[in-house]
Structure 1
Amino acid sequence: MSSESPRLAATALATPRLGWLWTAALAALAALAFVVVPLAGSDYWLNAILVPFLILSLAGLGLNLTMGYAGQPSLGTGAFMAAGAYATYNLLLRLPFLPLPVSLLLGGLIAGVVGVVVGLPSLRIKGFYLLATTLAAQFFLEWLFNQYGWFSNYSSSSSISAPRLEIFGHSLSTAAGRYLLTLTSVALVTAVALRLVRSQAGRRWMAVRDMDTAAAVIGIPVARAKLQAFFVGAFVCGIAGSLWAFAYLGTVDARSFSLDRSFQAMFIVIIGGLGSVLGNYIGAAFIVLLPILLNHLAGALFGGAIDPGQLENLQKAFFGGLIILFLIKEPDGLAALLARARTWLAGPRP
């Protein structure tokens, strides 16, 4: 990925003309998300649109940290999400005295350890061959969770169900409670990710992404940087998987985190923008909202004449065409377009 997009974003944020507007917009967005939406939003919007949007944004962020910032391709996002979900489930089941936030954190850490194991081949191979090893891990972990009943507490369907969601005695079983749990988790992880990518570790990841040989020459520990990127990316995906199981679906099995979920996260990163934290939210909004828009347009234009199966195939073809278009015309994704728009609004610098 070129450095054009981060440079444009930095220029826009450094412009005094837009600085206060950006701060005010963030404050207004936080107030809207944490106060207005839980009070005014319907159960449908909270459960079916906003919660999956936030969780998929988090899954895209995890992949983007590994692939977009550190340059390590991965098709194991679904596997890391499953590892986090099953780890959190077993922690809550077998150690019921643990508070929910602690179980989510520990589940993410266990997923991070799995990410390190999956990322070990990156010390020797790269590119397509590394992608193939993460794909193998995706299939292996999906088989493992289905094959051994201990992970699902010997459920006959190999599925896990959400335990009672509560924090300090306050129930989170309502739509607004699950939304606030998801939103708070996503906001905290995103804030940490922003600090991380701007830290020394983030700069090391980008140096390894751009040219690992040159990074090694200037003294950057390349192997450690790669494994750190896999750990952090899998940690974020693990938390996303726990939220997907408990705050969104309520009950899942390993097939809920199949290869399709990994591709979905990759589409979010490609459409939103590699190496961009904001791009994950733009890409996830695109992925979640576009099918709803297409369904409404099909209903309005054709009056239900199109079979739902055909409509789903048309949606997949449309997404495929968009991904090809983004790869050719705008490899930095929608985040780069937004950065250029901010720069244009700021005008020429004095």
Structure 2
Amino acid sequence: MNVFLPLVVDQALAAAVRAPSPQNTQPWRFVVDGPRIEVWLDRDRVLPVADPAGREARLSCGAAVCNLVLTLRVNGVRSRVRIAPEAADRDLLALVSIEGNTRPSTLDRRLAEAVYRRHTNRRPLSDRAVPPSARALLRSAALGEGGHLDFLDGSGRYAQVTALVRRAETEQATDADFRAETARWTGRAAECPDGVPTDAFGPPADIPGVVSLRASHENRSIPPRPFEQDPVLAAVLTRDQGVAADVRGGMIMERVLLTATAEGLATSFLSQPFEARSTRAQLLAAFRDLGHVHTLLRVGYGLPTRMIARRPAAEVTTVRSAPEVPAL
């Protein structure tokens, strides 16, 4: 056995838990069993109001898989991913098998470094345009994971989708159950290992924009500021849908987010229309000609914001047997 492999696996798991998740719930668990790393959905951390089917939680687990595999690769370890490997157990989302050695690329190293800088930016972005070259890199990142990235301003869907975002935000703002669930996971102290702390919130908008960021993520202790009026929005899609597609969608999403970070771009999510009952079906229908839409991203240039904490990887990992390279 490679004596350094346990350390490499520890590093990969530390990267995995840096993945984004709704309200920073971190809905994953990992099991290390020799040359295999299992990625499980943690049902206790699925949001029952906002995400009753666990769709967003599976996206988050897929993002964790992306970080895990990428970090293995930059440490010279080749792996293979099987998504939803057991139809009988829908909570076993991925199986990462260590298969030997590999040589990482320069791009692999850039993206792995971005894992520890990527964060959700809930603050105003500048009016600086996202250039065609950066858009092409983000599309290529999605394509490289088997998905598609659609920029809404070039597809004719912008007005329809932003209207759905505003309607969903209004519905959620008046939904007592949703507001209670959000309150349980937000407004936490900066050192809290899960949930979203108040100092990661953005300021209130002094002029309403074409889309709304979550009102529940406003820090009203700081002065209102203008937000960009026409933010760049992009949709992450796969051709298929279902449990496996959700996990793959999360891997695509994370590759796009890491690429954006490496290019100096800020990102955040517009999850409201996926979560609100009155808008979910219309949002899916709006992208039906392209495939199945998994998430909406806001992309642009902005000042860095603080990264929020995560639970230690050891807290969410069970080791059945030490990591090892399988005999050939």
Q: Same fold (TM over 0.5)?
A: no
Comparing both chains, which one has the higher relative contact order based on Cα–Cα distances under 8 Å and sequence gaps of 6 or more?
1
Structure number with the higher strand fraction is 2
Between Structure 1 and Structure 2, whose CA radius of gyration is higher? 1
Higher helix residue share: 1
**TM-score of the pair, normalised by structure 1:** 0.26
**TM-score with structure 2 length normalisation?**
0.27
